[in-house]
Structure 1
Amino acid sequence: MTNQNNNMKKWFTLAVLILGGGTVFKLPWLKDAFYVPMMDYFHLTHTQMGFTLSVYAFIQTFGYLISMYVADRFSKKKLMPVALIGIGATGFYLTTFPSYYEILVIWGLFALFAEIAFWPVLIKSVRLLGDSDEQGRMFGFLEAGRGVIDTVIAFAALGIFKWLGEGAAGLRGAILFFSITMIVIAIILYFLLEDDVISAVDEQGQKVNKNKAALEGALKAVKMPEIWVVAFTIFSVYSVYIGLTYFIPFLKDIYGIPVALVGAYGIINQYGLKMLGGPIGGFLADKKFKSPSKYLRVAFAASIIGMIIFILLPHQHLNVYFGVIFTLAFGAIIFTQRAVFFAPIEEVGIPREISGAAVSIACLVGYAPSMFAFTLYGSMLDRSPGMEGYRHVFLTMIAFAALGFLISSYLVKVVNKKKALQQDSESNQIKA
């Protein structure tokens, strides 16, 4: 009965975490649903929109250095609600339609709250919920659940935007809806999440200062090569994932996809694949391959083969629906990888007391492509318009997948070595 209660408690906690994880990025990524209204009513150019996101990415990447300390120093019960309230309160100010420079500051604050105070804490919390044999499923359901919450909240905001006339009032209404939703969920998280037990003693049982313990944990994480191997595996997945963005103009330019179908494709690509890829990736990692690292390696191989075939196809002579189905199938492979790419942190034996620092390092390296990959892929299309430019993009995606295959192969060796040492240790204990 106790095991059943613990299991129910675990999945209930995951559901609460998903609620926060599905809302935290709605304002920072307001452009996903309101790109054109943002330009119109914030009076921004495409370049200014791009620079706003670059400011966010810069603070996001280097802010993970701070979160290495923060994520293990403070409890999720405090950090996650504070982060959501911070984003929501900043969103209220955004409804005043501030100046361009104020918007840069606002997106800097969004990065501070969402990426430094919230995201590493969320990933750490999910890791600590599951045992070593259920990490894939935990992270898979996190990704799928976030997709469901994303969809519901995004369409609700779009409904408010339309209801208020699709103008300035509509945009204000959508932003207010996001802000209020985040603050309400922050309150829910505060009352439903348990406090983390933050140890104030070292391995010898000596009392230590909590600040000192968090800093020492961060330094310990930095010195562990296994974390860096996981981090660069995530880096490779994320570099290929960013390339999925360019399937949309590819289908429009090369296949002549109708405008109405572009919108439907975008919804499936952003939300549908996340909901599909999460549980499938988690199931394959835990049940089929019994190792997230092994699954990631196989998925890299599948994406390399799939993209090579895709490049060689005579696209100008193929049906538009073939292009849609093939690109969505390729995207599904990448989303299954995204669902489980944090799971190997458990496999490589990172101590649970430094989970926050380990996740922060993984995020620092893993999400770094957001600072350069969009520019890299975009410049290829600008330099070589048409099929030639897309071929360059797809070849670069293959290169990143090949890098990921090599790194994940090494990651599998690290995991196998850890398991062998653990088995030897257990057999020696039995003999003794």
Structure 2
Amino acid sequence: MTAQAKAKWLRFLVLVLGGGTIYKLSNLKDAFYIPMQEQMGLSHTEIGTLLSVNAIVATALFVVGGLLADRFETRKLIPLGLIGTGALGLYLASFPGFNQLLIVFALLAVCADCLFWPSLLKAVRNLGEDGEQGRMFGFLEGGRGVVDTLVAFAALGVFVVLGSGAAGLKGAILFYSVIDIGVGLLTLLLLRGARQDNAARDPVGFSGLLEAVRVPGIWLVSLNVFMVYIVYCGLTYFIPYLKEMYHLPVALVGAYGIINQYFLKVLGGPAGGFMADKGLKSPSRYLKWAFLALLPLMAVILSIPRGESYIYAGMAATLSFALVVFTMRGVFWAPMSEVGIPARITGSAFGIGCLIGYAPGMFAYIVYGALLDHFPGEQGYTYVFSLMSVLAVIGFLVSSLLHRAVHKRVTRTTNEALA
């Protein structure tokens, strides 16, 4: 391996490390959904409201983040976002009231989704060639899954050692906070000497945003991400579903949540990237068929009887569904290359894509949570999971349109090259 290749992958590993730690606090519900209810006194709807406020602020600032990523060096924005997130976590560990929690979750979005995420996406895209975008983003998702899983299980260990109560939850939050600050300082040091891509060093500004808006394919890519993400939001409710319908112990529910939300990235990200690049030769084509594969898996989940004796069947079925979703998350940004987004406006393009694609976070958790609060028990989960199935059908249609547009572009480009 050449020195240039080693530097490329070292930079990539540093980016993965940051991407796998920064969202732990804003997604505290992944491993600690039940403790948040019991120790912080939050209902399904209140947790959904916190997540939605976080998503509303994030969505409002994604385009700003894209402009910042094109305007300033990503090696400065990435550490700033991580350290800011950790500082907010130190306050979150004091269990502030609900109104204060709303402010904290809003500021977490500023650090993670405005300062950090568009810069991360731009940095990753600039590391890979057009023919390896699926694998680069797949490895990003898979690498984040490794970091996610290790850090989350460590936090769960802190929670259990400290008694699985209020002290345990505070300890886990403090653990996440210290990790964020530490990784932020690490990226500040290790990215300092990294040479910036030539295209990335030229400030683009608002003109780059206008240029990105005029690329037709960006809207289909963004809508496709929207559909994957709105189904992904529903994975959160597999956690209380197994607790209420199959009587999982709280600690085991936490372990399941970590596997469901984090470890599956390790398998799903690289698997999705490989199948998209090497199998179907197109990320957009893979996404189309993956949406369709979700329907029979959800049918199995809904058909398994409830009760302790079927606990392993319920876990296997929900994890299988989540695995397919994570293969899709691993490659849903890769079509940015397929639709012809110039590298120099990548930050602006990802800002627009995030604005639309992650918009479900503004309302999906409230909708899902409200269904569960208004229809307690099995009926509420049936409504939530049925809604996810309908959304998967719509996602299949959107991905089909995206793949058709990509195919037309490839055909046109080939004909022009031969002319």
TM, length-normalised to structure 2: 0.88
Q: Partners in 1 of 2:172 and 2:243 — Cα distance? A: 29
Q: CA deviation at 1:286?
A: 1.0
Q: Which sits farther off after the overlay, 331-340 or 124-133?
A: 124-133
Structure 2 residue 104 is matched with structure 1 residue 103: no
> Quick one: which of 249, 257, 262 aligns to 1:266?
257
Matched to 1:111, the amino acid is A
Q: Which sits farther off after the overlay, 389-398 or 335-344?
A: 389-398
Structure 2 residue 339 is matched with structure 1 residue 341: no
- The match for 2:382 is 391
Alignment check: 8 A CA contact 1:75 1:195 kept = no
Structure 2 residue 144 is matched with structure 1 residue 146: yes
Matched to 2:389, the amino acid is I
Matches within 5 A, 1:129-208: 129-164=127-162, 170-193=168-191, 194-197=194-197
- The match for 1:85 is 83
Q: Partners in 1 of 2:362 and 2:96 — Cα distance? A: 25
Alignment check: 8 A CA contact 1:160 1:173 kept = yes
Q: 1:381 to 1:57 in 2, by over 3 A?
A: same
> Quick one: which of 285, 300, 316 aligns to 1:325?
316
Structure 1 vs Structure 2 CA RMSD: 2.9
Deviations 1:365-405 (A, max 9, x none): 11111122222233334454554443332332222111111
- 3-state DSSP of counterpart to 1:25: coil
Deviations 1:160-210 (A, max 9, x none): 4445555665555444433332222222212322253465999xxxxxxx4
> Quick one: which of 48, 51, 75 aligns to 2:49?
51
Q: 1:315 to 1:8 in 2, by over 3 A?
A: same
Alignment check: 8 A CA contact 2:31 2:257 kept = no
> Quick one: which of 298, 305, 312 aligns to 1:315?
305
Q: Which sits farther off after the overlay, 401-410 or 38-47?
A: 38-47
Matched to 2:196, the amino acid is D
Q: 1:41 to 1:373 in 2, by over 3 A?
A: closer
Alignment check: 8 A CA contact 1:254 1:315 kept = no
Alignment check: 8 A CA contact 2:142 2:269 kept = yes
Matches within 5 A, 1:231-380: 231-254=222-245, 262-308=253-299, 310-311=301-302, 313=303, 315=305, 319-380=310-371
Deviations 1:73-113 (A, max 9, x none): 11111100111121222333444554544333222221101
- 3-state DSSP of counterpart to 2:129: coil
Matches within 5 A, 1:207-226: 210=203, 213-226=204-217
Q: Partners in 1 of 2:375 and 2:171 — Cα distance? A: 41
Q: Partners in 1 of 2:200 and 2:257 — Cα distance? A: 48
Matched to 1:75, the amino acid is E
Matches within 5 A, 1:28-47: 28-35=26-33
Q: Which has the higher contact order (CA 8 A, sep 6+)?
A: 2
Aligned length: 416
Q: Which sits farther off after the overlay, 389-398 or 13-22?
A: 389-398
Structure 2 residue 123 is matched with structure 1 residue 125: yes
Matched to 2:320, the amino acid is A
Q: Partners in 2 of 1:162 and 1:261 — Cα distance? A: 11
Alignment check: 8 A CA contact 1:255 1:320 kept = yes
Q: Partners in 2 of 1:324 and 1:36 — Cα distance? A: 17
Structure 2 runs not aligned, ≥5 long: none
- The match for 1:207 is none
Q: Partners in 1 of 2:8 and 2:372 — Cα distance? A: 46
Q: 1:120 to 1:163 in 2, by over 3 A?
A: same
Q: CA deviation at 1:148?
A: 1.3
- The match for 1:405 is 396
Q: Partners in 2 of 1:385 and 1:165 — Cα distance? A: 29
Matched to 1:405, the amino acid is F
Q: 1:250 to 1:123 in 2, by over 3 A?
A: same
Q: Partners in 2 of 1:249 and 1:34 — Cα distance? A: 11
Q: CA deviation at 1:39?
A: 6.1
Alignment check: 8 A CA contact 2:264 2:322 kept = yes
TM, length-normalised to structure 1: 0.86
Q: CA deviation at 1:45?
A: 6.1
- 3-state DSSP of counterpart to 1:134: helix
- The match for 2:9 is 11
Q: 1:106 to 1:200 in 2, by over 3 A?
A: closer
Q: 1:128 to 1:245 in 2, by over 3 A?
A: same
Alignment check: 8 A CA contact 2:52 2:366 kept = no
Structure 1 runs not aligned, ≥5 long: 203-209
Q: Partners in 2 of 1:167 and 1:243 — Cα distance? A: 26
- The match for 1:114 is 112
- The match for 1:67 is 65
Q: CA deviation at 1:253?
A: 4.7
- The match for 1:425 is 416
- 3-state DSSP of counterpart to 2:130: coil
Q: 1:380 to 1:174 in 2, by over 3 A?
A: closer
Q: CA deviation at 1:48?
A: 4.7
Matched to 1:135, the amino acid is Q
Alignment check: 8 A CA contact 1:77 1:195 kept = no
